[in-house]
Amino acid sequence: MNLRVELAAIDCLTLRLFDAIDEANVPWLLAAAERLRTTFGTALLDLVPSYTTLMLHYDLAQLDDAQARSLCQQALSGLTPATAEQGREVSLPVWYHPSVGPDLEPLARQRGLAVEELIALHSGRAYSVFALGFAPGFGFMGLVDPRLASPRLATPRKAVAAGSVGIAERQTAIYPAVSPGGWNLVGRCPTRLFDPALEGFSLLRPGDRVRFVPIEREQFLRLGGDATPMEAQP
C-alpha cells in the first residue's frame, strides 16, 4: 500500500492506496474505510470505495483541507488488512441460457470452450465486489478466470434486461435494471439488486464475496425471474 491523498473537490479527497486492480486490495480498502469512519466521526459526509481508492467527502463546517488530510494520515497510519469476515458471502442464482444470455454461445466459441465449461468457470469461484457504480446497485466484481476475459461489445445494446449477468474483460456484473450496456451477457439472475427497502438500497456492497449458483428455467421462474428472450447482437 502506497497512500497518496489527492484533491477531488473543495470538500472531497481521493485516497489512492494502490495502482492496479487486485482482489488483494479489498481487505485493505475495507480496513481503511472503517478507520476513516471512526476517525472523522460526524465530519464524514460520505465515503465511496473503488478498486484502488476511497473518495472521502467531509464537512467544511467542521474541517478545512489541512485538517482533513491530517486526519487521513492519522487514520491510516499502521493500517492492517481487514479479516475476511468483514465482507459478506452472497449467493446469487443464475439461469445460464442463450435466450437470456445471448452472448453465452458466441463467447464459448471464441474461447474454445463448451458452454458447460464456460458456465462451470464462471460459477466456480467467488468474486469480490470492488465497487458500486454505473447504475444503482450495479456491482463491479472480479476477477473472472482469464479464459473468460473478453472485451466489451463494439456496439453496446440499447436495452439490457434487468438481472442480466455479463462479462467484460476480467470483470463480471449483474444489471439491476433495464439500461444500455455493452457487456457480454451469459445468463440472468432473478434476485432484485436495487431496492429502496434495503439498507443502503443495494443488495451488494463493496467487499462482499459473491458466488453464482446455476439454476434451471423452472427455478428461475419460481424465484420471480423474467424469461423474456433477448436478441443477439448482429
Task: For residue range 141-185, list pLDDT tens digits in order.
Answer: 999 999 999 999 999 999 999 999 999 999 999 999 999 999 999
Cell of 97: 441460457
Q: Is residue 177 part of a domain?
A: yes
The better pLDDT of the pair 219, 49 is held by 219
**What CATH number has the domain bearing residue 33?**
3.30.1360.40
Residues 47-63 have pLDDT tens digits of 999 999 999 999 999 99
Q: Report the C-alpha gap between 47 and 57 in whole angstroms.
A: 6
**Single-letter amino acid, residue 70:** S
- Side by side, the strands of the sheet bearing 139-142 are 89-94, 209-214, 127-132, 139-142, 171-174, 164-168, 184-188
Same domain, 29 and 76: yes
DSSP three-state, residue 48: strand
Q: Report the C-alpha gap between 190 and 164 in whole angstroms.
A: 9
Of 7-11, 25-29, 82-86, least confident by mean pLDDT is: 82-86
Cell of 214: 446455476
Same domain, 151 and 67: no
Domain-terminating residue out of 85, 102, 135: 85
Q: Is residue 19 part of a domain?
A: yes
Same domain, 181 and 199: yes
Is 200 within 8 Å of 193 (Cβ atoms)? Answer: no
Structure confidence at residue 201 as a pLDDT band (50, 70, 90) = confident
Structure confidence at residue 86 as a pLDDT band (50, 70, 90) = low
pLDDT for 191 equals: 96
Q: Report the C-alpha gap between 99 and 230 in whole angstroms.
A: 6
Dmax over CA atoms of the chain, in Å, equals 59
Range of the domain at 28: 4-85
Q: Mean of the pLDDT values across residues 197-226? A: 93
pLDDT for 19 equals: 92
